[in-house]
Amino acid sequence: MNKGLEDYLYEGDILLSRQQIDEMTSLRKKRQALTLDYRWDKTKPIYYRFDPNLDSAVPPLFRVGAKFWSDNTCLNLVETKSTSSIRVFDGTGTLMGCFAGSGRFTTDISISASSGCNYFGIITHEIAHALGIMHEQIRYDRDDFITPIPSNMNEFYLKYFLNQKLSYSNSNNFGLPYDWGSNMHYRPVNYENQIIALAKDKLYQSSMGRAMAPSFKDIYLMNVYYNCLCTSGAACQNGGFRHPRNCNICICPSGLGGAVCNERPKAENGAADIGAVLSVSCKAVKDTLKN
C-alpha cells in the first residue's frame, strides 16, 4: 500500500518526528510501543479532525475505529472540527498510502487515510500507531517465532521487515507473548505473493497479516501501555482481563464470553449456540496470552 514511500516512513507506515528519528538512530528508546514519554495523557480527550478533502467514505469508518479503541481502553478519542491532536488527511503527491505518526508530539500528528485504506483493520492499525504501538514483527524475539526469507524480499521488505528487529537491550515486550495474529503484524508475503516469512509453528502461517481487527493481545497491550488495567474487580477466567471501562466485567479471548470469560459468546443474528466451555488449568491461562 505504501510502496514508494520508503524515504519518508519508519517500518513502512510510521511517520516519525525529528526528535523520534534522533532517538531511534541512537538506539536508546526503541520499544514495541514507543517510550512512555510519547504516551497521550489518558485523563484528557485525544482529539482528531478530518481534512475537508478527505474521501467521504473514510470518516464513518474512522469514527468506528476510534470508538473501538475508546470502548476497549481507558482512552477517549473525540472528534472535533477545531482543536485537534490527530489530523486525518488524504495524502497528496508522493505521500499517498496508509500511514500514521506515532505517539504524542507537541504539535499535531497526522494519519493518512486515503480511500484504499478504508478498512476497519487498517484504520485501527494506524490509530494504534498514533497511540504509540509499533509492529509485532520488530520484537527482539521474533526469530524464535518466524523465519524471514530474505531472498524473496525487495528493498522495502529488507529495510522494514528484516532489518528493523530490535535488540533485547533496547526493547520492551511488556511481558507479552508473540502474536502471529496481531493486527500489527506484517503479511508473510510480498507484493508478488511470494513468501517472505514462515511461522515456526506452521499452524499460525495463515494468521500473519490477515487480521481484520485488533487481536485480544493487541487490546491487552494497549491497556498495559497506558496503565488502564483495573487493580480490583471481576475474577476473570481463562486469560481474560478486567474491562477498563467497567472493572466488574472482563474482556475475553476469542471464543469466550460472559462477565468473567467462563461462557461461550452469545450467538448473533439468531444463530444457534455451538461448542462447549471447558475448565482450564493455570498453565492454560498463561498459554492464552502466549497464543
Active site residues: 126
On whether 243 is known to bind a ligand per the annotation, the reply is no
The set of cell numbers assigned to 78 is: 473525540
Residue type at 132 in one-letter notation: G
The set of cell numbers assigned to 63 is: 469514527
Phi (first) and psi of residue 132, to 5 degrees: 115, 5
Four-point Cα dihedral 126, 128, 129, 134, nearest 10: -120
Residue type at 195 in one-letter notation: I
Cβ contact 29:21 at 8 Å? no
The 3-state secondary structure of the chain reads CCCCCCCCCECCCEECCHHHHHHHHHCCCCCCECCHHHCCCCCCCEEEEECCCCCCCHHHHHHHHHHHHHHCCCCCEEECCCCCCEEEECCCCCCCCEEEECCCCCCCEEEEECHHHCCHHHHHHHHHHHCCECCHHHCCCHHHCEEECHHHCCHHHHHHHHCCCCCHHHCCCCCCCCCCCCCCCCCCECCCCCECEEECCHHHHHHCCCCCCCCHHHHHHHHHHCCCCCCCCCCCCCCCEEECCEEEEEECCCCCECCCCCECCCCCCCCCCCCCCCCCCHHHHHHHHHC
Binding residues for Zn(2+): 125, 129, 135
Binding positions? 125, 129, 135
